[in-house]
Amino acid sequence: MKYKIALKQTDEGYSVYVPGLPGCWSQGATEKEALENIQDAIREYLAARDELLKGAEVREVDVIP
């Protein structure tokens, strides 16, 4: 699965977040490290989301812009 990310260079290195996953942020001293860290953060975010959905009836809806 692919997610759009926003990568910003800072004085300390790189900050990165996933606009489509609220609260999913990470950082790294280098761009490479930041990208590796956000991949881990996304995996952890999705695992936590799946845990919260256990026992719930999950459906999908179509949204037309």
- What residue segments make up the domains of the chain, in order of their start? 6-49
pLDDT of residue 18: 98
| φ and ψ of 34, to 5 deg | -60, -40
CATH class given for the domain over 6-49 = alpha beta
Contacts of 17 (CB under 8 A, 6+ apart): 5, 6, 24, 25, 26, 38
**pLDDT tens-digit profile of 28-58?**
999 999 999 999 999 999 999 999 999 999 9
pLDDT of residue 21: 97
17-32 mean pLDDT: 98
Q: How far apart are CA 11 and CA 29, in angstroms?
A: 10
3-13 mean pLDDT: 97
- Predicted structure pTM score: 0.85
pLDDT of residue 41: 98
